[in-house]
Amino acid sequence: MPSSAARARAFDPRRAVLPDPETHALFLDVDGTLIDIAPHPDAVRVPPGLAGLLGDVSARFGGALALVSGRTVARLDALFAPLVLPAAGVHGAELRLDASGPVASSVQPFPERLRQGLGELARRFDGVFTEDKTSAIAVHYRAAPDAGALLGPEIAALVEAFGRGYVVLPGQMVFEVKPALHDKGTAVAAFLEQPAFAGRRPVFVGDDVTDEAGFAAARAHGGAAVSVGRRLPDVDIVLADAGAVRDWLAGLAAGTAR
């Protein structure tokens, strides 16, 4: 694993993003960004001290920090307990715009016919499984990487045949089928209307193509995009891995980020 110094060099000094606690807001993806990806979503490990670090950064930024994830808000709360933050779950279908507020949900039950079709497709491949997010279904193939080339077209065909406002969102070793109405960009826009975030420049940090709508929203509102692990389109800087993100956040909490 790269050292902290090596990870710090992942910043491009010509285009460095150094958020100002007085003028910026932070929007953070979770899996692959704050925590390392695991073979199964239930097997992820939250590093010791991460919840406390997020709380410290949030306080420094006046509460203008939100988690924006494909996971449900309830699952985010379980991962980072006892910390509770503003959060968007299921790619914006769930929104808790204030840490002390309720979760507003636009989640609709996933169509049973489409659910069954995705389940039958997953069962045809060893190591492929589905994750039910109530309004979305993720088809994971991390344990069967060669299956991706076959799964992609078949999932796309299933969704096209269903034809009722659902899209396929490809990610790292996963295809997620979700309602077309919401994405991480709509979540960012909703947060920016809230008192803690209003008037601030958003910085969105994510690791996957599922975060590209968040990147676009951040840049559209005068902010910046930070990708993790690889250079995704239209990002300002790249951090090497989730460890580099945690180092960067520690610098922000201490006021020493570079």
Q: Which of 20, 29, 31, 241 is catalytic?
A: 29
Per DSSP, 43 falls in state: G
Question: Is 64 strand, coil or helix?
Answer: coil
Burial of 14 (0-12, 13-18, 19+ CB in 10 A): exposed
For the beta carbon of residue 256, count every other beta carbon within 10 angstroms: 8
Q: Is 20 a catalytic residue?
A: no
Structure tokens at 157: 């065909």
- ∠ CA 136-139-145 to the nearest 5 degrees? 155
Cβ atoms of 166 and 178 within 8 Å: the answer is: yes
Question: What sign does the dihedral 178-182-184-185 (CA atoms) show?
Answer: positive
Cβ atoms of 95 and 86 within 8 Å: the answer is: no
For the beta carbon of residue 207, count every other beta carbon within 10 angstroms: 26
Cα separation, 81 vs 67, whole angstroms? 13
Catalytic residue IDs? 29
